[in-house]
Structure 1
Amino acid sequence: MAPHLADWRGRYVGSALAVVKPADTRQVAAVVRACAAANVPMVPQGGNTGLCGGATPLPDGRSVVINLSRMNRIRSVDAANNALIAEAGCTLAAVQQAADAENRLFPLSLASEGSCLVGGNLSTNAGGVQVLRYGNMRDLVLGVEVVLPDGRIWDGLRALRKDNTGYDLKQLFIGAEGTLGIVTAAVLKLFPRPRARATAWLAVPHPAVAVELLGFLRARCGERVTAFEIVGRAALELVLRHIPGARSPLAGDHGWCVLLELTDTLDAQALDAMLESAIAAALDTGLVTDTAIAASVAQAAALWALRENISEAQKIEGVSIKHDISVPVSRIPEFLERAHAELTAMWPGVRIVAFGHIGDGNLHYNLSKPDALDNAAFVSRTAEVNRVVHDLVASLQGSISAEHGLGQLKRDENARYKSDLELELMRAVKSAFDPRGLMNPGKVL
């Protein structure tokens, strides 16, 4: 049971009566009915790759963990309707491969795609690196199948783009972190598979210039701008230090870099020419100070590995105070400037590892001290650090959780920033679906 009782970071360790692994929706419903009859709490769990303790049971040992990893069938692919039905236990990579086999694309892309499961992606409304073009999980789901807290099965697997027949119930379960029911399958949107991909690593003078560059590139390349990731120098240095084979794409030290990717159904030559023309113009105007353009699939993969291994490198380095925030894209430079000024004034020598999806306003903003003893003292003041970061985010009309969810980690913190009315409405929804509070207790609310 041990692997199912701790979160990926090792921050939360719980206890449970049992871990149950049903193989189909009827078995899930039977388990839920049994738990409901015995008044036993349930913790839905997918690949257990979450970062906020949302799939980890509480320490009280009263709950049953319902792990969906055996429910891993692709039920159908409808290429003409650009839709696919996947069970909740399918890995994200398996869904991508099933779409690819039909010459289609499922665009959700995460560093953990080989191990994270579709049910968890829905439950946390996962985002990833292509939200800029395709949206997050909420935008990629057409329908869901859900086992409700009393064991009834709602079959909402409708593959429709238009259905104006009342409340869009599926959206209540997306991002709910398993607190309203257990998603057992979903209808996912597919897209034409890109024929060409062009990738570049760009040095920029400042985050404000990165935001300007995003607008510049979208004006020249349109919706072909699929990913636009910012990487601060401290984040890159951790990868270069801890990940074997990692090499900096550019000479010299650059405070900020952008990982850019264009995709299209154009031929590769045309897309490469578009990228080179856009970057040349950006160099001429000073928006970009240096660049490395991938000349092969292997080189593109190496650039992406620098971005995708930041979290792993941080884990190797040691404990840090992590934030997953979003603000309007236009206010990212202001957030970075003000947060840096406040934090370094309060904690001199703090190391700020900032990176993420600048194209959609989502930054991973992680803080630590380079020295282990200093860092232990710094981490002990997590609540104070969070207050500085989260108060600033709130003042900029942002969110303290952009894509990782609330789980246990941010449940209480969220109550500080939601209005009383918002919390009242959220509790009313919870009560309507789960009046006894048996579904994933201690999470979100």
Structure 2
Amino acid sequence: MPLSATDIIAQLTTLVDPAAVIGVPEQMGNYLNEPRKRFHKSAAAIVLPASVVEVQAIVRWANEHGVGLIPQGGNTGLVGAQVPLRGDEVIISLTRLDTIRSVDPTAGTMTAEAGVILENAHKAAEAQGTIFPLWLASQGSARIGGLLSSNAGGVNVLTYGNARELTMGVEAVLADGRLYQGLNSLKKDNTGYDLKDLLVGAEGTLGIITAATLKLFPKPEDYETCIVNIADPQAALTLFQLLRERLGGRLNAFEIVPSLGLDMQLRHAMLDRDPTAGPSPWYALIEISRMAGGQAGLLQAAIETAFERQLIDNAVLAESLSDRTRMWAFREQMSEVQSKEGASIKHDVSVPIAAVPQLIAEGSAAAERLFPGIRPVPFGHMGDGNIHFNFSQPVGADPKAFMALADEKLHEAIYEIVLKLGGSVSAEHGIGQLKIDLLRQVKDPVALDMMRAIKTALDPKGILNPGKMLP
């Protein structure tokens, strides 16, 4: 017989400090209120273990009693993987596992626990003359465990890869409470299945990551950053190809933003001044890193070549840290500013890089046919094909009525185009509970069978993040 919420709370207090168990719904808000406010279930309890041993004890108990556990880090996920689906689960928050166990600049590794805030990992790496190059807008609150569980991307994927590529090994608690001790810093280890890659990106459905060995890189001496004016995404693609030829691996980021994104930010005073060189239909934010002893001015030289080839008609280079900060704020505030414009419908999709212009053109046209006056706001990682294809409501529209009418129809239209172009319906945010039905529709049935077989083998009772990811 399932345990009642009262029983769950009482039994959890025998496993950890009673003060580390939250059983009052009114005190659960910070753990339940996810960023997009799409999911509204409560939880049976919140538990905050202070050690890996306590995590093991909680998981062992949950497995014995068939209690669903939801691993949670900074609660910044955008697809509902980290919040309840049914309402009878226990959220196991890893925020107290926040120790950086070691930093080895010689080996280029850091071992950090799941609750370490990404920004603190950055600071620890930089204190040793290195960087951990996973950069994203929520780095002040996102935590290592959640970032790895969702295989986060960010703006530096071009040079350094996503979270999976930045992870050398993980430590994780399995569904029966055993500890997988996979923390290693070996660049070569050909001794069987890569279990680390299985756990990273699994959204806590196969094991609860408690720590990870992460890759560090030499700290650049400086960055060269600019915003260029471009006519359209096709011009952006041509420019990207030129820069990749000229700059190679130095090209860290190539992000695109439409003029509407700048208009929104200036209208809501989210920028103290316009960071661009002037009005343009589209902008590209470009950054390269310069290592110690490296040649300066490479980005400027490449931009001058772009001018000569008439790929751009204006540009501004950052001349100070404040300039660079403002330019990146322009890009990183894009999701936030849309909430100030009313309702918005968002898509985290990817297509082959060469297909990005076609995706944006066809997707925008399809949306306009469905809903005249809708405002397309596609932006993001042009350099790796990951576009956040968002749409803001028509000016003056009623937000609730717009969402009720447009949400399902617009998703269907955009995903149809994405799949036609050989793309993915989830580029970096994951599946969670938001895209379960969609995954069933688009994923290879054989791949789904393999995923279910792995889940059954590692979590036969289905206690780890039940109902998430797998349809």
Instruction: Quickly name the TM-score band, shorter chain normalised.
Output: over 0.9
Q: CA deviation at 1:277?
A: 1.2
Confirm or deny: 8 A CA contact 2:47 2:91 kept in the other structure: yes
1:412 paired residue number: 437
Work out which of the residue numbers 315, 326, 343 in structure 1 matches 2:350. Answer: 326
Residue 396 of structure 1 corresponds to 421
CA contact (8 A) 2:352 2:423 kept: yes
Counterparts of 1:311-350 in structure 2 under 5 Å? 311-350=335-374
- Alpha-carbon distance in structure 2 between the residues aligned to 1:132 and 1:124: 18
Equivalent residue runs for 1:17-96 within 5 Å = 17-58=44-85, 60-96=86-122
Structure 2 letter corresponding to 1:226: N
Contact 2:117 2:141 (C-alpha < 8 Å) held by counterparts: yes
| Distance (whole Å) between structure 1 residues aligned to residue 200 and residue 365 of structure 2 | 36
Show the counterpart of 2:25.
Answer: none
| 2:114–2:144 CA contact under 8 A, matched in 1 | yes
Q: d(CA) in 2 for partners of 1:386 and 1:257?
A: 26
Contact in 1 for aligned 2:136/2:154 (Cα 8 Å): yes
For residues 96 and 248 of structure 1, do their structure 2 counterparts lie closer, same or farther at Cα, with a shift above 3 Å needed? same
Distance 1:256 1:308 in 2: 16
Partner secondary structure for residue 95 of structure 2: coil
Structure 1 Cα separation of the partners of residues 277 and 284 of structure 2: 15
Identity %: 46
Is 1:310 the counterpart of 2:337? The answer is no
Which of 221, 229, 236 is the aligned partner of 2:247? Answer: 221
CA distance in 2, matches of 1:106, 1:222: 20
CA distances 1:17-47 after superposition (whole Å, capped 9, x unpaired): 1100111111111111111111100000000
CA–CA separation in structure 2 for the residues paired with 1:417 and 1:405? 14
8 Å Cα contact 1:368-1:375 kept in structure 2: no
Distance 2:376 2:184 in 1: 45
Moved more, 427-436 or 244-253: 244-253
Candidates 143, 160, 168, aligned match of 2:186: 160
Q: Does structure 2 conserve the Cα–Cα contact (< 8 Å) formed by 1:7 and 1:51?
A: yes
Cα shift readout 1:349-393 (whole Å, capped 9, x = no counterpart): 111011101101000011122335344333113111111001110
Which residue in 2 is equivalent to 1:441? 466
Partner residue in 1 for 2:8: none
Partner of 1:285: 309
Aligned partners of 1:376 and 1:173: how far apart in 2?
38
1:171 aligned residue: 197
Segments of structure 2 that go 5 or more residues without pairing to the other structure are: 1-27
Query: Following the alignment from structure 1 to structure 2, what is the Cα–Cα distance between the partners of residues 79 and 250?
Result: 37
Distance 1:243 1:149 in 2: 48
Does the 8 A contact of 1:243 with 1:313 survive in 2?
Answer: no
Matched, 1:239 2:265: yes
Report if the CA contact (8 A) 2:224-2:290 is conserved: no
1:373 partner SS: coil
Distance 2:310 2:186 in 1: 46
Which residue of structure 2 lines up, in the alignment, with residue 383 of structure 1?
Answer: 408
- Deviations for 1:165-201, whole angstroms, at most 9, x for unmatched residues? 0100011111111111100000000111101111100
| Letter paired with 1:351 | R
Contact 2:94 2:114 (8 Å CA) reproduced: yes
Superposition RMSD on alpha carbons, in Å?
A: 1.3
Match of 2:238 in 1: 212
Count of aligned pairs? 442
Quick check: 1:133 aligned with 2:147?
no
Q: Normalization by structure 1: what TM-score?
A: 0.97
> How far apart in 2 are the matches of 1:305 and 1:346?
32
1:251 positional shift? 5.3
Q: CA deviation at 1:323?
A: 0.2
